[in-house]
Amino acid sequence: MNIDLKRKKERRNVFLRWAIYMLLLAAEYVYMTTTPFHWRSLLLVIPTAMCVAAFEEPFDSAVCGCIAGLLLDTAQGTLIGLSGIILLWCCLVTSLLFHFYMRKHIVNIIMLNGAAVLIQGIIHYFFYYAIWGYDPSAGIFINEFLPVMIFTEIAAVPFFYIIKFLVKHLGMINENYIEERSDDIVRE
Amino acid sequence: MCPLLKGFFGTTKFKILVALMAVIIGVMIYSLTKGGYSSDSESVFGIVLEPFQKISNNISEKVTSTLDMLFNAKKYYEENQQLKDTLNEVYNDIIDYDKLARENEQYRVLFGLTEEHEDYVFSAPCNVIARAANDPYHSFTIDKGSQDGIAPYDPVVTSAGLVGVCYDVSRSTSRVRTLYSPRTAVGVTILRSKATGIIEGDYEYSEQGYCRMSYISDTADIKEGDIVVTSGSETFPASQLVGTVKEVGMDDSGLSKYAVIEPAIDPDDVSTVFVITSFNGQAGSSDT
């Protein structure tokens, strides 16, 4: 394939891939803000950002995590930036770990996503309920936070495969060249 | 540390991330000092997201109402039958009411009373555009903000009564804290006996759709079914319907009573509200 054409196609793939990530985050934001109060709304932007971090570059992952966190802050009505910072660091660390130390395996992403969900949940609970003394018997944490955290954790599984599929089909173009042995080459 | 990993922390990209984090921390600190108003960055974020929220809310409402019709058709039929019976009773009541209204009008003229609530200034009708995800106290966002005259701590009502209070007001949106929240303390009166107390949200009650009225005198005359209205304060105008008494009991201390109140309005069912932007006696108004 022509090298210019290949680069053009790769750029298009990158653009498409990130456009899909952003649309996915926007759709999840819509889902989070329109769920009736008597239903639990899963914090789907967390597994999405974490799965993106598993496959993308650290810097891109961190920015994606930050956007996801800001959307989460707006959806939950928390101070803008609180989850933004948490997810920025979680995605950055996840991306670095997957780049240098870990295999891109579902078990690894489940563990790291669990850690991110737990950190975000505990910080949210601490600053908005625990320190104000609204939940002395931890009822809010057990009945509201814990189920959401567990189901958000489970949601990482489909998102891992969705992102993996996207990266596979809209990723770098690998060309395999078959070199044929030739006896005509004259070596000096 | 892995040399590649160490290399990343020295790159310009990492410095950009640190700068981004510093900006976010700055925005957070700035937001905390705004006293109920959103910071400019939050407003920008809100303006960007507002069209998404409106569109998504419309779609969601249509889907929910369609599903609701499909699944609850039998329930609505029974409700319809009950309502027909109730309507017949109401017609009879209207005849009595008409007589009383004429008498009342004469008394009004007699005592020179002004029209009720003429000191209120209402905002334009506000649509609910988002509901806070997993908030046990059911807070939500409306599509009117400071440019429509809304300020933090303005009361939010519907024609059926009090819903809550505004907080986190941006240029074009405001968040509403409902009566279920422990942060919303409302001074209230029992309409029949004039017994007073304070309504405070509580997680256990909010789960069941109730809130708690505390600090009621142990000698107060209060019973199930009593109507609860606001007693009037710098935040909430007087005589706004809050709900009805569901249950009465003695506090653990044995010094005062408490009551479980069923709010007149379920925030889940609210799609349009009004904000009272000014009333006589409001904190900061010229009449205070």
pLDDT exceeds cutoff 90 at A95 = yes
Residue in A with minimal Cα distance to B182: A134
Are B132 and A62 in contact (CB < 8 Å)? no
- Report all structural domains of chain A as residue ranges with CATH numbers, in order of start: 3-168 (1.10.1760)
Quick: pLDDT tens for B121-174. Answer: 888 888 888 888 888 888 999 988 888 899 999 999 887 789 999 988 888 889
Q: Find the CB nearest B131 among A33, A80, A85.
A: A33
Contact A59/B28, CB-based, under 8 Å? Answer: no
First-to-last CA distance in chain B? 65
Q: Does residue B193 register a pLDDT over 70?
A: yes
How many Å lie between the alpha carbon of A65 and the closest alpha carbon of chain B?
A: 11
Q: Which of A72-76, A110-114, B280-284 has the lowest mean pLDDT?
A: B280-284
pLDDT tier at B37, thresholds 50, 70, 90: low
Candidate from B57, B141, B203 with C-beta closest to A139: B203
- Tokens 């710098």 locate to B234
A41: tokens are 């709304």
Question: Tokens 């070199």 — which residue?
Answer: A179
Q: Is the pLDDT of residue B112 over 50?
A: no
- Determine the residue type at A161: Y
**What pLDDT is attached to residue B72?**
81
The CA distance from B191 to B195, in Å, is: 8
Chain A, window 68-107: residues with a beta carbon less than 8 angstroms from a chain B beta carbon: 70-71, 74-77, 79-82, 84-85, 88-89, 92, 96, 99-101
What is the reported pLDDT for B163? 92
User: A68 near A45, Cβ under 8 Å?
Assistant: yes
C-beta atoms of A63 and B139 within 8 A: no
Contacts of B135 in chain A (CB under 8 A): 37, 76-77
Can you give the pTM of this predicted structure? 0.72
Please report the sign of the dihedral spanned by the C-alpha atoms of residue B179, residue B181, residue B185, residue B191: positive
pLDDT tens, position by position, B274-284 = 898 888 877 76
- Determine the angle formed by the axes of helices A58-76 and B12-32, rounding to 10 degrees: 10
Mutate to test the interface with A, among B2, B134, B207, B211 (most CBs of A within 10 A): B134
Strands (E), chain B: 121-122, 126-131, 140-142, 155-158, 161-169, 174-178, 186-190, 196-200, 211-217, 227-230, 241-250, 256-263, 272-278
Q: Mean pLDDT lowest for which of A4-8, A88-92, B184-188, B197-201?
A: A4-8
Q: Flag whether pLDDT at A88 surpasses 90.
A: yes
Q: Per residue in B224-277, pLDDT tens?
A: 888 899 988 888 888 888 999 999 998 888 888 999 999 988 888 888 888 988
Give me the pLDDT at residue B202, please: 84
- Scanning every residue of chain A, which has its alpha carbon at the shortest distance from the alpha carbon of B200? A134
**Which residue of chain A comes nearest to B58, CA vs CA?**
A34
pLDDT band of residue A182 (cuts 50, 70, 90) is low
What is the arithmetic mean of pLDDT over A116-135?
A: 90
- Residue numbers in B near A45 (CB within 8 A): none
| Residues of chain B contacting residue A82, judged by C-beta atoms under 8 Å apart | 28
- Percent share of chain B, pLDDT over 90: 16
Q: Which residues contact B50 (CB under 8 A, 6 or more apart)?
A: B129, B143, B172, B173
Q: Is the pLDDT of residue B103 over 90?
A: no
DSSP string, A142-163: IIIIHHHHHHHHHTHHHHHHHH
The partner residue sitting opposite A144, judged by closest CB among B13, B134, B182, is B134
- Measured between CA atoms, how close is A113 to chain B, in angstroms? 19
Lowest mean pLDDT of A72-86, A142-156, B1-15, B170-184, name the range.
B1-15
User: CB-based contact (8 Å) between B135 and chain A?
Assistant: yes
Q: Which residue of B has its CA nearest to A61?
A: B17
**Cα B61 from Cα B120, distance rounded (Å):** 31
How much is the pLDDT for A25? 92
A58 Cβ under 8 Å from any chain B Cβ: yes
- At residue B110, the pLDDT reads 43
Residue in chain B lying closest to A133 (CA)? B182
ipTM of the predicted structure?
0.75
The reported pLDDT for the residue numbered A186 is 62
Instruction: Find the mean pLDDT for residues B110-121.
Output: 59
In our burial notation (b when 16+ CB lie closer than 10 A, e otherwise), range A131-153 reads: eeebbeeeebbebbbeebbeebb
The pLDDT of residue B288 is above 60 = no
B32 touching chain A per CB within 8 A: yes
